[in-house]
Structure 1
């Protein structure tokens, strides 16, 4: 289905929990009030929404959180969504801590790819950023996924004064491993507003000083807005998701659903449509109508570059990564 500006909306990001086992400083505070489980959509309810979304042209699903693998049965949901007619790909975004435990189940259920959040390879700094000493578990998860031939992307967020000098160590993960490393500009949502981002245009210049001119990699790597480059001698590619200076709204193809059933068409604004009441009343016509409405009213662009225009006040953990 096309939105009001002619963009084909075929990708849906679905948060299945607001809970997480890490406490990344720009995402989630140490103390937080969890949403009661009865307010969170069941796997069966998520499946129903995806079936309706598929009739509107949604083909690709990203399962997110919080931390999706913190919810018991996540691989089962992946298998359920893979069986929905019209759904071509189901992928997962995770912090990687539980990945080695569940990777084989996810592979068996048909997971198409996994994105792993990793901002540093330094143990001490990892604990400073995430609040937990779990770097080894994340690295084990990456290796397990690669061994099972699950396509892997590393998502790294650089912060000035924190891990900005670690770009090379992170990029080097793609040197001898068949994975992509993507650098994501810090988005001014929730706690992210408090941190100064490292802009990707600056990072690209540093990479070219180190590796020489990077050639655009035009192969399809996934569902999102990353721009990829090939580095001579690297097995994987380097990607940039530049929400601020590389505004990609003209090609935005997604909507989001929070764990409580709120449909969001843009991260920047607080507008959302709740489908939970209609869903639990069994009113599929209304569920379909609300999905259509969310897609039709998708804004032309975000306004992250003008912080006073940002109306979304919730934290990323409650919206979905």
Structure 2
């Protein structure tokens, strides 16, 4: 999928800090910013291979000293909060408020703005992070993303040994290509706003899919007969723990699979920000088929 053209009003001299830069989405954001000629600084927890034109800073978002150093000379921040607890983010938000960059925060489409409490711990943290940023006066631009297509990489190990993907039965969702989310984020980061966006941008793919449909589409791309096997919550929990996932993350994922409501919401916000429609999961599967072996 090609990158979008340079956004209108792009500030070529922008200095942008990307958090979560080593992750599936963060890497895509860094690549696009660099291609657009922005000065990019990535914040990573572990040293990565050096890239020409991209400054890499090793640090943790929960370490105020590291955050303060990473923010020096920065105009904008792409923020991904990696923890299932918003309490450690208070120091981060204080550092952001002191440095006063533009903040683009990656959140979740599952947030219910009318609910006193969100459906599960993952969505609850996103809601709390949005509130923290707003309360600090940062006036963030919020990108609420649906399920990222890149989450399917979590099936890689199962598909290397068989044709069955098993896991909890989660709510159907408008799966969105992480490359589209990255393009949307870059469009916002590189465009000067005299006024902040008061409403979140809700980023979805073009169709609502269940896990079984995603697996079938991936199978078509791989030319294999794949199927999805639903596991009861207890079995899904045991499998994820046996795979080495942290217990608190497993419990959050199980809660999300049980309590997150189904939705058929599809928006055109990707197209509004990037100038082109969101891509399909089927195309994502074709583009990434080689990653799944066999």
Tell me which interval the TM-score lies in, with the shorter structure as reference length. 0.3 to 0.5
**Structure with the largest fraction of helix:** 2
TM-score (norm 1): 0.36
